[in-house]
Amino acid sequence: MPGDTLIHANSGDSIRLADTLFQGQHMPALPAYDGDSSISNAWLFWIGISIVILIFLFRPLLWGLIKRGQYKKLREEAVEDVAENYDNYDTLLASYNSYYRSLSPLLRQRFLQRVTEFRETKQFKYIDITPDDKMMLLISAAAVQLTFGLDKYLLEYFDTIYVLQHDYRYGTYNVPFMGHVSSNGIYLSWDNFLRGYSDDTDGDNVGVHEMAHALAYVNFTAEYLEDEDDDFKKQFREFSKVARPIFNSIQGGTTNFLGDYAATNYNEFWAVAVENFFEKSLQMSIDLPELYSAMRTLLRQDPLVADKGVFPS
């Protein structure tokens, strides 16, 4: 997107590994208790230290159990919500989103459940625009479309989505923005969002574009370990083995249907490639077959086959 930006500390295809806590450290020996109160206090001190260390060591496990409980509740609520509002949601998404229209009834059910889950994890803030319930549903659907083949699809690092009416100014940039992603949240201009879904063959979809940035941000920039997708990150390395040379060739002057904006930087190449993967699938599969195959493997779906090649997990 012209004017689009993603504040990104990494190149997009590099992986930063977290340090291991307490590596190489050993607990000191505990003093024997002989009835002296100072020794008793020492015991209490070291027991306290041990508990703190255990909490740190087992924090991922404890947090995982908590998150699984939250996910289960969220999923149950989503199932109920879709059961009560299926006709309304189905009609609305089918009117705007051709990707959704192509799905079987079974996958539409799964898609809508993910949409309602995603929507409930976000706070939508409206800037100089009148709120509309369909905004939340359609924007959430853009995220689900991108992540429909992935196990992690809530983009949890982002709890706020900002919706503006038109192009807008951001920071010190002198060009108008249609959308952007930063540590503060996901920003989208509604006019451009709707225009992106009005023509699903032009390779221009600001909703999918910004959600692609958000997915990369979660996995490579945010350092929010609970939402990282290890499988996605591993496969992204393989994707970049194909994508990087194509990006480099565009920067070197080679032209292809992805356009000049894809040469801006690797982050923009990624987002533009995602847009075209969904909207110019056939052309990408013919002109850039290795890139199409790598994207298909990375996102675990194929827009060219029935039901996008996505099956319920």
Q: Which residue in the block uniquely carries the two structure tokens 């208790």?
A: 33
Query: What's the pLDDT at 72?
Result: 66
Cβ partners under 8 Å of residue 236, min gap 6: 13, 219, 220, 298
Q: How far is residue 173 from each of residues 46, 51, 177, 308, measured CA to CA in Å? A: 55, 50, 9, 38
pLDDT at 158 over 80: yes
Gap between the Cα atoms of 12 and 15, Å rounded: 8
Backbone angles phi, psi at 90, to 5 degrees: -60, -45
pLDDT band at 2 (very low <50, low <70, confident <90, very high): very low
Query: What's the pLDDT at 260?
Result: 93
Query: What's the pLDDT at 9?
Result: 38
Query: Does the reported pTM lie above 0.85?
Result: no
Do 170 and 177 contact (CB within 8 A), yes or no?
Answer: yes
Gap between the Cα atoms of 300 and 309, Å rounded: 8
pLDDT at 133 over 70: yes
pLDDT at 94 over 50: yes
Question: 3-state SS of the chain: helix, strand, coil percent to 5?
Answer: 60, 5, 35
pLDDT band at 253 (very low <50, low <70, confident <90, very high): very high
Q: What percent of the chain has pLDDT over 90?
A: 65
Here the tokens at position 112 are 């809508």
Mean pLDDT of 116-120: 95
CA-based max dimension of the chain: 82
Give me the chain's average pLDDT, please.
84
Do 247 and 266 contact (CB within 8 A), yes or no?
Answer: yes
Gap between the Cα atoms of 21 and 57, Å rounded: 7
Mean pLDDT of 213-232: 85
pLDDT band at 27 (very low <50, low <70, confident <90, very high): very low
pLDDT at 165 over 50: yes
* pLDDT tens per residue across span 31-85: 444 555 555 677 777 776 777 676 656 555 544 444 455 566 766 887 898 889 9
> What is the distance in angstroms between the CA of the first residue and the CA of the last residue of the chain?
33
Number of residues in the chain: 313
pLDDT band at 307 (very low <50, low <70, confident <90, very high): confident
Gap between the Cα atoms of 49 and 57, Å rounded: 12
pLDDT at 129 over 50: yes
Print the SS3 string covering 154-221: CCCCCCEEEEECCCECCCCCCCCECEEEECCEEEEEHHHHHHHHHCCCCCCCHHHHHHHHHHHHHHHC
Q: Edge-to-edge, what's the strand order for the sheet holding 123-127?
A: 123-127, 160-164, 185-189, 179-182
pLDDT band at 227 (very low <50, low <70, confident <90, very high): low
Mean pLDDT of 108-112: 95
